[in-house]
Amino acid sequence: MNIKRNIIFTLESRKKDGVLITENVPIRMRVNFASKRIEFTTGYRIDATKWDADKQRVKNGCSNKLKQSASEINASLLEYYTEIQSIFKRFEVEDVMPTPEQIKEAFNALHKPVSEEPKPKKEALPCDFFQVFDDFVEDCGRQNNWTDSTFEKFAAVKNHLTNFREGLTFEFFDERGLNDYVGYLRDVKEMRNTTIGKQLSFLKWFLRWAFKKGVHQNNAYDSYKPKLKSTQKKIIFLTWDELNRLREFKIPFNKQALERVRDVFLFQCFTGLRYSDVFNLRRSDIKGDHIEVTTVKTSDSLIIELNNHSKAILDKYKDVAFEYDKVLPVITNQKMNDYLKELSGIDEPIRQTYYKGNERIDDVTPKYALLGTHAGRRTFICNALALGIPPQVVMKWTGHSDYKAMKPYIDIADDIKANAMSKFNQL
């Protein structure tokens, strides 16, 4: 059974004296399924100006009246989301369509109030594996100012570990235990080797943190390096010809929204900005012939000069008023990725090779199907280097501090130059 459901986090809509309340507003979780709706209180409040309705999360860097941070609140919202999904999956496995009361009862059971006798603050015991994991997420999240996406990654890590084995301990993860976990990710979760490598690095991070805290004495993780065949991930970008094709693409009359998606993507292609930074771009960031931004992902302060192409896109929307004084009509990342695949018509076949265990798998896909917002940033880097702009200059624009990260792009630029030179042979 597959139960269609929609889980939404939204601010409570309440008026006082006919005026909508916008300060210290309760965050509610709304669950829709089978033409029914359930409302849950989350226990958190936030000002409306600090709430991102598109992402359904508190904006990064914000806090509420109780000094609860965005990362703390968003991590709890993600946990509620995961819990509701697990409850539905349980009913799906049992092939039962639940009632709203059953869903509410199951969720409330996970959040029973503590007994009347006050309990001492729970301390993580060496054997209390998942309590230590929660402490790790809280500690590292606060220390390193994790983004929502990082919290989501570690929520997925915890979910994999929970499903892998009950009653996990730190002693379990010797070489054999680590091998068993890798086997589980490969055979049961059917992950690619590259994904397994990432999951393993997340687990090692946690085990290393707990070891340094003196929670356990098992450091087998330190020397554990399984052989996972992999290939370098192919960098998807657009050539100058493909960029021109994209600009000249005739947008169907009934899909005019695609024009705005194209403009935002092209702006990325001519500035190198990540999606998060284009989404966050305000009119105050435009300084005549350049833009000044503090990146969302790395908090780097960047100055990026504008060229004729990026200027033209900004000029196109200079008189259009967007919410929060934004510069461009940026929609959600997911929707934009979907629309991009409809836009380009760039159907060059791209072969991607990956491994599952020792099995080599070759996928051939048209390039348009692989396009996402990050391809805009990659397009900028590759074409800038191919034009002969020094890597050090490109790195200042993109915020790369490690030359190693730039190396794959330099190799691509060298290939572009070599192919361009060969055109002289046709004369």
In this structure, the answer to whether residues 244 and 157 fall within a common structural domain is no
Residue pLDDT, tens place only, 253-288: 888 889 999 999 999 999 999 999 999 999 999 998
Taking the CB of residue 40, how many other CB atoms lie within 10 A of it? 19
For residues 285 and 314, give the distance between their C-alpha atoms in angstroms, rounded to a whole number. Answer: 12
Would you state the pLDDT for residue 124?
A: 41
Domain boundary among the residues 83, 111, 139 is at 111
Residue pLDDT, tens place only, 150-203: 888 999 999 999 999 988 999 999 999 999 999 999 999 999 999 999 999 999
Asked whether the predicted pLDDT for residue 88 surpasses 90, the reply is no
CB-facing half-sphere around the CA of 206: CA atoms within 13 A: 24
Query: Which of 43-47, 292-296, 302-306, 369-373 has maximum average pLDDT?
Result: 302-306
In this structure, the answer to whether residues 382 and 247 fall within a common structural domain is yes
In this structure, the answer to whether residues 181 and 204 fall within a common structural domain is yes
Range of the domain at 57: 1-111
In this structure, the answer to whether residues 391 and 287 fall within a common structural domain is yes
For residues 295 and 54, give the distance between their C-alpha atoms in angstroms, rounded to a whole number. Answer: 19
Looking at the structure of the chain, the number of domains it has is 3
In this structure, the answer to whether residues 97 and 160 fall within a common structural domain is no
In this structure, the answer to whether residues 98 and 7 fall within a common structural domain is yes
Residue pLDDT, tens place only, 386-421: 888 998 999 999 998 888 888 888 888 887 777 666
pTM of the model: 0.59
What average pLDDT is seen over the chain? 87
Residue pLDDT, tens place only, 3-28: 889 999 999 887 777 788 888 899 99
Would you state the pLDDT for residue 422?
A: 62
CATH of the domain at 161: 1.10.150
